[in-house]
Every structure is written in structure tokens, then in C-alpha cells.
Amino acid sequence: MPNRLRGIFLVPFFIFTLFASAQVNTVSPYSRLGAGDLAAPDFARAIGFGGANLALYDPMNINLNNPASYSALALTTFELGVQVGLLEQRQQSPDFTIRNYSAGLRYFAVGVPLYTWWGSALVLKPYSFKGYNISSNRFLADSTAVLDNSQGSGGLNQLVWGNAFEVAEGLSLGINTAFVFGRLEESNSTVFNGAQLPYDTRSVYSDNIRGFTVEGGAQYHLALANNRELGLGLTFSNRATLNANTNRTIYTYQTNASGQEFPIDSLTVISNRESTFALPGNFGVGVSYGKTNELTFTHSWLISADFEQRMGSQFSDVLGSNQGLQNGFRAEFGGVITPRLAFEKLERSNNFLSKVEYRIGAFYERTPLNLNGNAIDDYGMTIGFGLPIRQKSLAPGEVKASTINTGIVLGRRGTLSDGLIQENYLNFFIGVTLNDKWFIKYKYR
């Protein structure tokens, strides 16, 4: 047991170095607004059925979306996930199409059933990403060509500690407390091509952000005849005001033939000023219906649906600006099925494909972004698979399970109207889930 505990404490430090290292997390101009592109809140399994898991009471997987779900954990659970994405960006005026990619570690989590009525989880994952490089050309009255460029990078991470308690039969309450931290950077430049004066100018912004957020959740599950189960889920989070250390610098510069910049004059506008950075609250409801399997702790089949309200109007940056964000919403629907558990004629089947959990889903989101009077929508389809890994040489009473979870998202965000950008994307999520029963004393091995 001490070796296992030592591993839990060492692994998060290793994972943190991976989060901190260079990763291509996003390349979207839409990440310029707000805290950036929000990282998927779901793990690979839930992504496969659209992310509709607010009501999901899962003994074998960590459900970060609703902290009330942790009380369902039957085994100590480790989860690790990565993502690789392909992105096509299109614009009609001017006409262009470019392709990019993104990749990186997306979550590391540990969940433990402390008692039959109390479950706890520790999760490290990104909260948001910034990554863009936007250029535009214009001409002055004397025909001097001007190039305006804006670049952004960085992002926010979160370390989440969640606890859930079964307060009555079928009713669980939970809370996620997250420490959010990270750095957001932006650089804006104006280049006067072919002109001696005025000098080119650049403004550099950086915000170091840290603080806590709190999210509450509730789940109720009603057992029905023939192992059927009806689930209801609810989550709520208030607006969270974080601390920020802000720096703003503006300087003029010249560039030599090799492209090297030489600062001419600089003006520090803001230096290490303490300010605030506010993240918006959310509200979500979900429902699920399915059939449970008493031997495997999993669902034979399940359908679920969620609706979440995103309070984008509550956002505020370090200068007190809302950046034009509005309230939005997200609707999700999905289902899962494991043929061997769902169909009686396959109960004794040893065919690997009959043991796979198959998932499918869809989502539609009205994002908080509204540009030139155009709402920026995000919608798509998802599929996923749960591939069980066979366990060998288990001792009497020993319980272990391992699963490779995959989630594939095919979606579209944005519009071609008014010179805006439409993004078509294909994201691959791969996660590993390890389940183990701890605190077993063996007489024979």
C-alpha cells in the first residue's frame, strides 16, 4: 500500500510537467476572446456519447461534469487522456482555407471510494487555451501599406478536488473545488511597410491568473423493475473572481534586413498590478435511462440528455471588460450499449467485439461569442468505443479492470458571414481507465 500511495503523489508532478511543456493546444482566432477556447470538460468515455453525463451514476469511471457522481465509485480509479485534433479554417472574404492541428495531454484523475456513501476525486486538466495569429492589411492616406498583427498564447489549468456524499437512498450531493492557474499573453503590432516614420509599434500584454472556483452538483437515481434505472442530474456554479497580476508594455522598434527587432523607445503602461479576472457561472440539468448489470457494475445500455446554460455575460477581464460575450447554452444527447450485456443470446459469447462498449452522440452549442451580430454556433456528432483489457492471474477476491476509451468528434464552429471564419474539426480522444480494489489482505497468493 505505501508504494501505491507514493505513486499517486509522484505522478501528478510528472503530469504537471507535461501540461507545462510545449503543446499545440489551439490555433483558433476565436480563442482571442474571454479566457480562450474552453477545454472539453468530459473524459474520453463521455465524449463518445456527446458528453451527456450530468445524470450518469458510474461506479467505474470518474465523472468530472457532476461532482455528485463520485459517491458511485466502486473501485479506486485512475484515468489519463490525450487528444489529437485536425482543424480546417475557411474564410470567404478574403478567400482562403488553411489546415492546422492540435495535440496534448487533456486530463489525469484519481478517484477513490472512501466509504460506501463517500467518494472523492483529484483531477488535473486544462481549463482553457489561447493560440492565434491574426493579420490584416490597410493603407494610409499617403498610400503607405500598414500590417496589423495580433498574436496570443497561453492558457489556464485547473487542479480539482471533488467529494460526493450519498445523503439518502438514491440521492447524492457533491462539490468540486478547483484551483485555477495559468498565464495569458497577447502581442499586437503595427508595421508601416516602406516608411521611415512613424516607427513600428508593438504592445505586449501578460496576465498571471490564479484563484478558486466552486461547483455543486446533485444526482438522484430511481431503481426500476428488471434492473432499469432512471437518473436525474443537476449542476450549478457561481461567477468566480480570480486574482491576476497584470503587465502591459508598449514600445516602438525598427527591424533590420534579417528581421531582427531593435527597440527605439518603450513605455511601461502597467507593471505587476494586482487585478481581477472573472469566470462565468454555469447551470446544467440532465436525465438518463438505462439497464444496469450487477456483475460488472456497468450499464448494459443507456440513453442520456443534458442541457447547460453558459453565463458568458458574467465574464470580465483584467481591465473590467466583458469583451462582448453573451449568455449561451449547450444541448447534448447520446447513448451506449455493450452487446454481451444487452442481449441474452450473447451472454456467453467470448467474441471481443461483443464485449466492447459502443457509444454515439450529438451536441449543439450557442457559444457566448457574438461577432458583427453573428452568433457563433458549435455543433457536431460523436462516436466512441470502450475496449476492455483482459486481466490475468487475479488472486481470490482481487478485483481489477482496465479499459481503453476512445472518443471521436466531428464538428463545425463559426460562420462564413461578414468575413468571419468557419472551422471544421475532427478531434480524437484516447483515454486509459484503470480500476483496482484496494485494502485486500491475502492469506494465500
The answer to the question of residue 441 being in a domain is no
Which residue carries 483558433 as its cell?
Answer: 28
Higher confidence at residue 440 or residue 96?
Answer: 96
CATH of the domain at 290: 2.40.160
The answer to the question of residue 442 being in a domain is no
Higher confidence at residue 9 or residue 335?
Answer: 335
The answer to the question of residue 402 being in a domain is yes
* CA gap 156, 38 in Å, rounded: 9
Higher confidence at residue 215 or residue 390?
Answer: 215
Q: What is the DSSP string of 94-122?
A: TEEEEEEEEEEEEEEEEEEEEETTEEEEE
For the stretch 126-177, pLDDT in tens is: 999 998 888 888 887 777 788 888 999 999 999 999 999 999 999 999 999 9
The answer to the question of residue 288 being in a domain is yes
Share of the chain above pLDDT 70, in %: 90
List residues bridging with 11 in a β-sheet: none
pLDDT value for 394:
61
Higher confidence at residue 60 or residue 263?
Answer: 60
Segment (H or E) for 47: helix 44-48
3-class state of residue 29 by DSSP: helix
Q: Determine the structural domain holding residue 174 and report its residue range.
A: 2-436
What is the chain's mean pLDDT, rounded? 88
pLDDT exceeds cutoff 70 at 207: yes
Average pLDDT of span 346-368: 94
- Give pTM, 2 decimals: 0.88
Least confident of 43-47, 89-93, 293-297, 379-383: 293-297
Q: How many domains is the chain partitioned into structurally? A: 1
One-letter amino acid identity for 294? Answer: E
Average pLDDT of span 194-208: 81
The answer to the question of residue 358 being in a domain is yes
- Of the candidates 400, 207, 218, the one whose C-alpha atom is nearest the C-alpha of residue 296 is 400
The answer to the question of residue 146 being in a domain is yes
The answer to the question of residue 444 being in a domain is no
* CA gap 237, 257 in Å, rounded: 53
Least confident of 144-158, 188-202, 319-333: 188-202
Least confident of 215-219, 329-333, 439-443: 439-443
The answer to the question of residue 443 being in a domain is no
Average pLDDT of span 361-380: 95
